[in-house]
Structure 1
């Protein structure tokens, strides 16, 4: 018997550290080669980390919420004597684990050829450790303004609440969290314990309005993981129990109880009131949030953007959606897929917007294919999944691809390759019940089309006043790649296709 230590591997070019979000194993557990042992979050993505050794876990060198430098010990496993074949298998597993995200080689450090919030950086950051803080008495009412302007849901009709900030406010150690009772979960039972190590898991359960006692654990030792919570939520949604509004109300109820129980804060600071739930607090910009902040700042400082918008009568688009639902119901083609089809056709007519700017070479780079980015809100915050090759897809294929990437974005299971390489962004912020926005362009792209809610409004039709479903389309574009004439032409074409979808046939 010997003890072998698995160091945190290099999870991508330019990355120097990763934060342990949750452990799927505990000391004393038996693990197999390639078994997932932990979820690690980097500045680019969240990664399920496999173990290259088979044996018994002896030491976890980091707790959930701790940041580990690349090359530092992560887990130690006691292994038995291995044959040459076993040794080769272990070496192969190690090589695969260190190459988890090396398919992102096209992302050069500092090149900016990435989505907002997930870029590489030339500057190396020092090691950080998450600091424990007093639990916040309430979750944010919604995402920050910049995030709200970059959100998308697969549900095209019903507004959804913004996800709270992914920064955990739990300061409890992993050992305490794994054994304490579920006092802060909906429907918790006094005197019973729920085995949860990760604060992220508890936060997701609160957001979804789930009772952790009803979640079936799948990890060794009966520990509930993020995947278990996501599976429980999906099972509940499939059964029709608990709408998004009910989940939100359950989360607000839990927050209210926590706020009432907190009372005045110690040390003479501003007390928390049960009516507002406000408190003085500093939230460190770490991990994903820091990278998002850096990328948004870079986009705003580098891109001279302008925004133009138009109100459109969506009667034609609504009729087309209803006709497709009646004739090809299995295709499940919704508003978002139809808008994506129109955007792709518009970019074929106005290729200036399907481009980026190479500042070092002093060139505008126009792309030969449309890789459509879709702003989405996931459990870790803002993500921008990409439908690669959207210009070569049929409307039905495009609809299926959008459902796939947006669904996995909300589940937090996208790979880094699926969040890079976009050439233009479609942003459906209408699901939040808002009409318009001026979002920050997804660097290094040159344009973003935003779509507001579809709502009945007075509209003049053939000289008479009528009630029509109306939506607002807004285009933010990089003024370096085109002038207002091109931007206005693209937006007018999209608007005409929304009002009269038959115009799409002219380009086929």
Structure 2
């Protein structure tokens, strides 16, 4: 006799207390293996797949896509010890709510369950996301198992999720009330792309609609977007930073011509390409070794400044889901090649939405390259609970006095936003001046190698 076990939303770490169901990877009636991902959820930190610790047949699911669940809430139930379906058809539970009560009958006696079902018989079991489409065979009339086995297919219905290029596309459609099944995807094999969904949304907005009846005036008019998930977490952190940290900003223009020439020489020598971000990161770790006050955090409960032993360097990355700050662990112990490789890996994961909570937390200092947006300067908000952030603007040709003569040089604006509790302007200015000197004369770094 199979045992039905309940799998609850586990503690995802990093103080997370809830998650939103983005996409179910299994359906009621699917056979799952131990540690197989069964649902994709979005937390305040990242998009993650949740594996089930049980192996067996899924008998019920709890929560629709888009539902927020607290940690410890039931996700699904699994009949452990049930025989896996073989050649004969097995009935599918009519609904998630009825699946639990019907599981002992349907799993213990497939033939009798078929006779009592509504006439829909699931053909072709699959596991996880590999089963994107399933077929149901509808017999001509309710009959015994032998008659069902000999009955030809009358209707074929599509079941399971519509194939889309990413969960973000599915969520975009859901938030705009768009039925994905009504779309024709322009991707390979009919895959629905983000452009397909956006085009359908624009088309829907262009259709004239009858003006609604007048409604009483309200205090605020406009679209309301819930502050939850990653956007909500960012709002909470920035609000806390602005409320708790007395920050100040100083900035300086620097001649980056020699730094860019050094990068060109490195890349011409062969090997993996070296990024500008990696060079700036190497300069930052050298500067933090000289000015450790800025690699710290403030513990107001004990009224202490905690200077941290190593540099976990965060860097701002813009994605479809918003701004995220992946963290390069032990950046102070990495050379330029290692930093370039880690920046590339984390950036790719950020764009794919697959960063783990551990890769998004634990930073001690942040490098913000807002120059990629085509701007020269900014006064960013410190990434709480860190003590400072270095901002880097775009590197552009500008008139510059070089060796006593006017010349066109590649100039960049550097800004440092710092927590005034951990240091005064002299320390912050010394840090920023050292960074600028290394940008202008990269050979200064040779002393730190």
Instruction: State the distance in 2 between where 1:13 and 1:321 align.
Output: 37
Q: Which runs of 5+ in 2 are unaligned?
A: 84-132, 135-157, 175-182, 216-220
Query: Structure 1 residues 204 and 456, CA, compared in 2 at 3 Å: closer, same or farther?
Result: farther
Contact 1:20 1:66 in 2 (8 A): yes
Determine if the alignment matches structure 1 residue 290 to structure 2 residue 258: no
Q: Does 1:214 align with 2:180?
A: no
* Paired residues of 1:379 and 1:411 also in contact (CA < 8 A): no
Native 8 Å contact 2:20 2:67 kept in 1: yes
Q: 1:16 to 1:252 in 2, by over 3 A?
A: closer
Label 1:265 to 1:418 Cα distance change in 2 as closer, same or farther (>3 A): farther
Q: Is the 8 A contact 2:60 2:77 kept in 1?
A: yes
Matches within 5 A, 1:170-189: none
How does 1:13-412 map onto structure 2 within 5 Å?
14-81=15-82, 195-196=162-163, 200-202=168-170, 212=185, 214-215=187-188, 256-261=202-207, 266-268=212-214, 280-327=222-269, 329-412=270-353
Give the aligned partner of residue 431 of structure 1: 372
Cα distance in 1 for partners of 2:60, 2:82 equals 19
Larger mean Cα displacement after TM superposition, 54-63 or 317-326 = 54-63
1:351: Cα distance to partner? Answer: 1.1
**CA positional deviation for 1:438:** 0.7
CA contact under 8 A between 2:18 and 2:43: conserved in structure 1?
A: yes
Distance (Å, rounded) in 1 between the aligned partners of 2:19 and 2:213: 34
RMSD: 3.2
Aligned residues: 362
Contact 2:45 2:356 in 1 (8 A): no
CA distance in 2, matches of 1:14, 1:312: 41
Spell out structure 1 runs of 4+ moving beyond 6 A.
none
Partner Cα separation in structure 2 for residue 205 and residue 494 of structure 1: 46
Residue deviations 1:121-180 (CA, integer Å, cap 9, x gap)? xxxxxxxxxxxxxxxxxxxxxxxxxxxxxxxxxxxxxxxxxxxxxxxxxxxxxxxxx99x
- Describe the SS at the equivalent of 1:321: helix
Q: Distance in 2 between matches of 1:369 and 1:342?
A: 15
Compare CA radii of gyration and give the structure with the larger one: 2
How far the C-alpha of 1:213 sits from its partner, in A, is: 5.0
**Contact 2:44–2:228 (CA<8 Å) still a contact in 1?**
no
TM (norm. structure 2) is 0.73
Give the Cα separation in 1 of the matches to 2:210 and 2:441. Answer: 59
* 1:47 aligned counterpart, secondary structure: strand
1:336 is paired with a residue whose SS is helix
How far residue 81 of structure 1 moved from its aligned partner, in angstroms, is 4.8
Query: What is the distance in 1 between the residues matched to 2:17 and 2:426?
Result: 45
Contact 2:3/2:79, CA 8 A, preserved across alignment: yes
Q: Displacement of 1:415 after TM fit?
A: 1.6
Residue 260 of structure 1: CA displacement? 1.9
Partner Cα separation in structure 2 for residue 498 and residue 19 of structure 1? 44
Does the CA-based 8 Å contact 1:204-1:379 persist in structure 2?
Answer: no
Q: Describe the superposition over 1:294-316 as per-residue Cα deviations: whole angstroms up to 9, x where unpaired.
A: 11111001111001111112111
Report Cα offsets for 1:13-37 as digits up to 9, x if no partner. 6443321111111223222111111
Partner Cα distance (1:20, 1:205) in 2: 15
Consecutive unaligned residues of structure 1, counting only runs of 5 or more, are 83-177, 180-191, 218-223, 230-246, 270-278
Which structure is higher in strand share? 2
Q: Give TM-score scaled by structure 1 length.
A: 0.65
3-state SS of 1:414 partner: coil
Deviation at 1:488, TM superposition (A): 0.9
Alpha-carbon deviation of 1:204? 7.0
Deviations along 1:276-328, whole A, 9 cap, x unmatched? xxx9211121233222211111100111100111111211111011000101x
Asked if 1:479 is matched to 2:447, the reply is no
Partner of 1:104 in structure 2? Answer: none
Q: CA deviation at 1:482?
A: 0.9
Structure having greater relative contact order (Cα 8 Å, sep ≥ 6)? 1
Contact 1:373 1:423 in 2 (8 A): yes
